[in-house]
Amino acid sequence: MSTRLTRLLGTELPIVQGPFGGGLSSVALAAAVSGAGGLGSFGAHHLDPDAVTALVAELKAAVPGDRPFNVNLWVPHPEEVDLRPAPADFERLRPLYDRLGVPAPTSYAPPPAFDDQVDALLAAEPPVISFVMGTPPARVVTEARRRGIVTIGTATTVDEAAAVQAAGLDVVVASGSDAGGHRGAFLRPVAESLVGTFSLVPQVVDAVDIPVVAAGGIADRRGVTAALALGAEGVQIGTGFLATVESGASRIHKAALTGPDARVTVLTRLFSGRHARAIVNPLIRELTAEEGNVPGYPVQNGLMQPLRRAAAARDDPRYLNLWAGQAASLSRPVTAQEYLATLITDQSGSGSGAVPGS
């Protein structure tokens, strides 16, 4: 399955495993996907520079041979850099802290600085670096090119895809509103950037010259075939890989992805302060009226962490951020290698067999 994407990345298959942040990525998953011919990924936006350096070293040791892998960072929005919580932000969550027996935080520690993270990542030289939420500074793109690192940007609209190309990145992921987890809109508000994957992809293909990767609502061979037919040169799949054995998702998260509740997802700011698609659960229903009041990322994300950790420790899905895309019900609890095989060849004995070009 040779495309410009596979030739640029050095992969056998035009399949990118979506990067997950907040502990959902795992070295085992990235290594399994890369080892099976795709591009394994790891979301590192929550890691400090030393941890980023250690992560790349671990990935280099785990990924077979000289196969490529990808490390992902979030580009900060200017208005978020100096954001701090107000007393009301702590009080809003106090009933939940009390209910779960979690001490309410009395202070807020900001996340690692993007400039420090990206400098450590460039120095560690992973084969591929991807970005969401915006385009990186020109110096980052220049240094990545000097070091032979392939760069990938993410777009939720045609205008954002054009911005990714103008910034000099090598590949653009066209991420439709079907996708699970955080929305990466950066030129317009999320509400004005909710374009479905199969509406977005052909428009992006027509608008840019760099390889386009389709993402969002793709979870089986049918989705891969459709994306390639629309002109994409690869696909990025998140939720399907999140359900696999090797992912860092909790047991209850994986169970939710393959259960009936995964048929209903919603975009919510409640867990992190940024819009993200998740399975609807009691916490979302309880706090829906507060959607417009919660502080932005990263403040809300930091304030919610104690609750998420307590819920995970208790195997309680009622208070967890159960990230999921709109095709989550197509997920299967199998190994990453088994899942990857089903994306390329029909494993059921029905249908048209292999993906065109394979």
Helix (H, G, I), strand (E, B) or coil at 189: coil
Q: Which CATH number among 3.40.1110.10, 3.40.50.970, 3.20.20.70, 3.40.50.300 corresponds to the domain 4-344? A: 3.20.20.70
Q: d(Cα 158, Cα 160) in Å, to the nearest integer?
A: 5
Residue 291 DSSP symbol: T
Q: Dihedral of CA 331/280/18/162: which sign?
A: positive
Q: d(Cα 43, Cα 23) in Å, to the nearest integer?
A: 8
Burial of 70 (C-beta count, 10 Å sphere; 0-12/13-18/19+): buried
Q: How far apart are the first and last CA of the chain?
A: 5
Predicted pLDDT at 107: 79
Q: Dihedral of CA 324/325/326/331: which sign?
A: negative
Predicted pLDDT at 357: 54
Inter-residue contact 42 to 70 (CB < 8 Å):
yes
Determine if the peptide bond prior to 295 is cis (ω within 30°): no
Predicted pLDDT at 358: 46
Burial of 87 (C-beta count, 10 Å sphere; 0-12/13-18/19+): exposed
Inter-residue contact 133 to 163 (CB < 8 Å):
no
Helix (H, G, I), strand (E, B) or coil at 276: strand
Predicted pLDDT at 80: 87
The pLDDT tens digits of the residues spanning 100-137 come to 999 888 778 888 999 999 999 999 999 999 999 999 99
> Which residue in the block uniquely carries the two structure tokens 């990767």?
213
Burial of 282 (C-beta count, 10 Å sphere; 0-12/13-18/19+): exposed
Q: Which of 121, 174, 173 is nearest to 149 (CA)?
A: 121
Q: d(Cα 7, Cα 288) in Å, to the nearest integer?
A: 46
Q: d(Cα 99, Cα 94) in Å, to the nearest integer?
A: 9
Long-range contacts of 78-85 (CB under 8 A, 24+ apart): 79/296, 80/296, 80/297, 80/298, 83/295, 83/296, 83/297, 83/298, 83/299, 84/108, 84/299, 85/295, 85/299, 85/302, 85/303
Q: Dihedral of CA 111/117/118/119: which sign?
A: positive
Both tokens assigned to 309: 């950790």
Contacts of 279 (CB under 8 A, 6+ apart): 256, 257, 261, 262, 264, 265, 322, 324, 328
Helix (H, G, I), strand (E, B) or coil at 215: strand
Positions in the chain short of pLDDT 50: 348-352, 358
The pLDDT tens digits of the residues spanning 336-352 come to 999 999 999 865 444 44
Predicted pLDDT at 347: 55
In which element (H, E) is residue 124 found?
helix 114-124
